[in-house]
Chain A
Amino acid sequence: DAKTTQPTSMDCAEGRAANLPCNHSTISGNEYVYWYRQIHSQGPQYIIHGLKNNETNEMASLIITEDRKSSTLILPHATLRDTAVYYCIVRVAGTASKLTFGTGTRLQVTL
């Protein structure tokens, strides 16, 4: 699986959009971009994933560049409950493949 690069930490004011970047310059054509987050003392939670088109669900939006070498996770209106570590992971297509976690981005949402 390709590796990803994320900033170690970010801050965001409550109510503002949180934009979390991820670089995955060695991504292969059959690899998806997945985002998970881990709130303190909980297991990781799936957020969203995509291949090459932008995706949106009730939690977030995922913007993938045309060359697929980077992506941005957008939380449109961050709340204090969004404070967590966010992991960007590239994963081979297929439902039984493993997730390989990096160190992620620690997002702190403040008042």
Chain B
Amino acid sequence: EAGVAQSPRYKIIEKRQSVAFWCNPISGHATLYWYQQILGQGPKLLIQFQNNGVVDDSQLPKDRFSAERLKGVDSTLKIQPAKLEDSAVYLCASSSRTAGNGELFFGEGSRLTVL
């Protein structure tokens, strides 16, 4: 089966500019996660969706970050305006409530560099 698709793989922007990342989860997976991974650290959960509803966005900096999951499938994560400290890899993951052992399947990530 196809894995979690993310784009773009790399993005370089100036601070105060905006950027958007796209994620297409594994077909049929109802749960979708966005993680932020800063160099040298483990991934940190930003937001979790169940279908198109938000389950957990407690660590999402809502003054500059937004995310949506229209129709419960694809998702976009937006940053506006970007700060230097937003430089990181943004990982999307999906999981199924009804199949497997609930493990998360991760995409390869989108690497953001803010100059």
Using CB atoms and an 8 Å cutoff, list the residues of chain A in contact with chain B: 34, 36, 41-46, 49, 85, 87, 94-104
Contacts and interface: CB of A to CB of B under 8 A. Distances in A.
Interface stretch (B43-51, B64-72, B77-85): B43-51
Given A43-B106, A43-B107, A94-B102, A104 B42 contact: yes
A53 to B, nearest CB: 14
A100 B95 contact: no
Q: Is the interface of B mostly helix, strand, loop or mixed?
A: loop
A98 B42 contact: no
Q: Closest 7 CB pairs between A and B?
A: A43-B106, A95-B102, A101-B42, A46-B103, A95-B97, A101-B43, A96-B31
Given A46-B104, A49-B103, A98-B56, A103 B41 contact: yes
A43 B91 contact: yes
Nearest to A87: B42
A42 B89 CA distance: 10
Nearest to A42: B108
Contacts of A99: 33, 43, 45, 104
B115 interface: no
Contacts of B108: 41-43
A82 B103 CA distance: 20
A92 to B, nearest CB: 10
Given A87-B42, A96-B95, A98-B56, 19 more contacts: A34-B103, A42-B108, A43-B91, A43-B109, A46-B103, A46-B104, A46-B105, A49-B103, A95-B97, A95-B102, A96-B30, A96-B31, A96-B55, A96-B102, A98-B33, A99-B45, A99-B104, A101-B35, A101-B43
